[in-house]
């Protein structure tokens, strides 16, 4: 038997605000809150990992060693890029050449993530 990823944890200054932002990006909902201020979001599907936003006093200081990749579900990459920028994502430079088929962005707290080109099916239900 192997392990499986059940949660991704991201430290941030404002867990409530960042969780709400990512809920809009991913069409997730809050699935839990802890006394320490952490907020957990997810799709509600038990097979899909959740994201936990934990409180951290300091700002992000360097490029993340692990980042999220997201794919559009109901529109092409250009339209999804416009949507994400409208939600407050910002273009980020992590050394890409400009010839990549993806866009590197950052969330409102500066955490990098990539918008890939392939459209994937939205979860049903």
What is the structure's pLDDT at 58? 77
Same fold, 1-56 and 64-125: yes
Low-confidence ranges of the chain (pLDDT < 50): none
SS3 47: coil
Superfamily designation of domain 1-56: 2,3-Dihydroxybiphenyl 1,2-Dioxygenase, domain 1 (3.10.180.10)
What is the structure's pLDDT at 10? 93
Q: In the numeric block, which tokens belong to residue 107?
A: 């969330």
> Where do the domains of the chain lie?
1-56, 64-125
Q: DSSP alpha helices (H): ranges in 1-125?
A: 15-26, 77-87
Residue 87: phi, psi to the nearest 5? Answer: -80, -10
User: In CATH, what number does 64-125 get?
Assistant: 3.10.180.10
What is the structure's pLDDT at 125? 58
Distance CA 12, CA 36 (A): 13
What is the structure's pLDDT at 72? 96
What is the structure's pLDDT at 117? 94
What is the structure's pLDDT at 66? 86
What is the structure's pLDDT at 121? 84
């Amino acid at each position: 038997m192997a392990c499986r990823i059940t949660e991704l944890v991201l430290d941030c200054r404002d867990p409530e605000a960042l969780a709400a932002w990512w809920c809009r990006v991913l069409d997730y909902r809050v699935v839990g809150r802890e006394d320490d201020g952490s907020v957990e979001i997810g799709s509600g599907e038990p097979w899909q990992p959740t994201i936990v936003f934990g409180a951290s006093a300091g700002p992000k200081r360097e490029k993340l060693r692990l980042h999220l990749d997201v794919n559009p579900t109901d529109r092409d990459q250009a339209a999804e890029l416009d949507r994400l920028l409208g939600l407050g994502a910002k273009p980020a430079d992590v050394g890409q050449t400009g010839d990549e088929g993806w866009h590197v962005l950052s969330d409102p707290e500066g955490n990098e993530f990539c918008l890939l080109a392939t459209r994937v099916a939205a979860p049903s239900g």
